[in-house]
Structure 1
Amino acid sequence: MSAPRALVLRAAGTNCDGETARALELGGATAAVWHLERLVAEPDRLEQTEILVLAGGFSHGDDVGAGRVWGLDLRRRLQAELWAFVERGGLVLGICNGFQALLESGLFAPRGSAAAERDVALTANTSNHYECRWVSLESLDCVCPWIVAGERWPVPVAHAEGRFAVADGGVVERLRAAGQVALSYVAPGGGPAEYPANPNGSVADIAGICDASGRVLGLMPHPERNVSPWHHPRWTRMEAREEGEGLIFFRRMVAVAAGVSV
């Protein structure tokens, strides 16, 4: 069986495309990095792609809101093609700025929905400044096929607008009931996270969500920055291991793209 084909999308100001492509390759995929403009010019490339990833960074300088320009560009110029990609089984991942852009693109909402994605937002951290630290992430029972519930792993965060906010309290319950809350911040010993374990003040400690199909996932932490053992700042004091904890995230995504259940 040939390796699943991944496309890492970048835009002006993104800066995590290289390490994201490497994480996908280590996970078993082939990966290419394309600028948004190239995909707009050649949208048929999505028909030869199983995995689409929006990399992290600071697209367009986050000048009018983190990921906003990039996301609106996707909505205006590629939304129909992206919906079709997901509907035929493609997997989409947005990491940090890529998650912010995915929310703006409308891809988390069903095709034709005008309002559902506006029930949630990624906004300024409650600390009112940029947060760059390692946190504990826990996987939850959700419809995303490459997330295995009940696991915890350390990952770094690096953002100023990562607080997951909702229009009202009912939104969180709706997302949970639909199996769309995929990842949460947890305290180092487990349980609800307070700052700095929850680095941005996200409601219900939510770190990542998926769409109703489970094939579109966004998260604020950076698993691609913990794929090698020495990525962790305390790696010399930890038990020897072959890889960073974040690599399993990509390996499972690639496996699902290849038709393997995890």
Structure 2
Amino acid sequence: MKFGIVVFPGSNCDRDVAYVTRDILEQPTRMVWHQDRDIADLDVIILPGGFSYGDYLRCGAIARFSPVMQQVIEHVQKGKFVLGICNGFQVLTEAGLLPGALTRNRDLHFICDRSPLKVERNDLAWTQAYSSGEIITLPIAHGEGRFYADRPTLAELEDNGQIVFRYQGENPNGSLKNIAGICNATGNVLGMMPHPERAADPALGGTDGLKLFAGLLEKAVVAAGV
């Protein structure tokens, strides 16, 4: 499985993700500059955390117009996988690949902490290495992570099972329905505010995030009939 990690001006978690996919999981990985247009060789596109374009206007609002994003949209339409982490989640909502919006945290403070999450479903390629209802712990680091959507959209997310992760216990940022991560209707696009790449190495104090990437690899192995 070949991973591509999009690098926007202001990305700062791109190398963290590459460390997981390339060094821990030993999968082919290349950094994709935001002006690149050729991503046809890639199986999984990851939009990493950071401050794309300095978060001017709104988080992700400028990044959505990067040349690579049209290719990312076509990548999704082909049924390939896309993961947006933190700022990447914000970019996915701005680009219309996921519903809702990420707004200022409830207390208007930047949060850097670890947060328990509930895995709402494990029938996705992203979550098949978890148990349904499993409680995991992942780092969070954001100032605009409060998920918001209107009532019909929230109802649709609930009815379609598109809520993948919820904050468990204390809600750190005021996200509606305790939403920490959602997917699109077909399940190949996942956006999440917590950072799984920061919980993928025992040296960092936990490996709950590694299962997310490992689940994708297991899906690829099964699909290949290996």
Identical aligned pairs, as a percentage? 35
Q: CA deviation at 1:166?
A: 1.0
Give the secondary structure class of the aligned counterpart of 1:48.
coil
Residues of 2 paired with 1:161 and 1:130: CA distance? Answer: 8
User: Where do residues 105-184 of structure 1 align in structure 2 (5 Å cutoff)?
Assistant: 105-108=95-98, 117=99, 120-141=100-121, 144-148=124-128, 149-167=132-150, 169-184=151-166
Q: CA deviation at 1:23?
A: 1.3
Between the two proteins, the alignment pairs up a number of residues equal to 220
2:7 is matched with 10
Give the secondary structure class of the aligned counterpart of 2:40.
helix
CA RMSD of aligned residues (A): 1.9
- Does residue 1:20 correspond to 2:17, yes or no? yes
Residues of 1 paired with 2:6 and 2:136: CA distance? Answer: 26
User: Where do residues 1-262 of structure 1 align in structure 2 (5 Å cutoff)?
Assistant: 4-25=1-22, 26-37=24-35, 39-40=36-37, 43=38, 46-71=39-64, 73-74=65-66, 77-108=67-98, 117=99, 120-141=100-121, 144-148=124-128, 149-167=132-150, 169-187=151-169, 194=170, 198-232=171-205, 244-260=207-223
The letter for the 2-side match of 1:30 is: P
> Residue deviations 1:134-156, cap 9 Å, x none?
10011112763321422221111
1:83–1:34 distance in 2 versus 1, CA, 3 Å: closer
Q: CA deviation at 1:170?
A: 2.9
Residues of 1 paired with 2:112 and 2:125: CA distance? Answer: 29
Residues of 1 paired with 2:96 and 2:122: CA distance? Answer: 20
Residues of 2 paired with 1:122 and 1:142: CA distance? Answer: 24
> Residue deviations 1:156-202, cap 9 Å, x none?
100000000112x2322211111211111102xxxxxx3xxx21100
The letter for the 2-side match of 1:95 is: I
Residues of 1 paired with 2:60 and 2:222: CA distance? Answer: 31
The letter for the 1-side match of 2:107 is: S
TM-score (norm 1): 0.78
Contact 1:230 1:244 in 2 (8 A): no
Give the secondary structure class of the aligned counterpart of 1:13.
coil
The letter for the 2-side match of 1:86 is: V
The letter for the 2-side match of 1:34 is: V
> Residue deviations 1:49-107, cap 9 Å, x none?
10000010011111211121112x14xx4555323322323100000001101111122
Q: CA deviation at 1:226?
A: 0.9
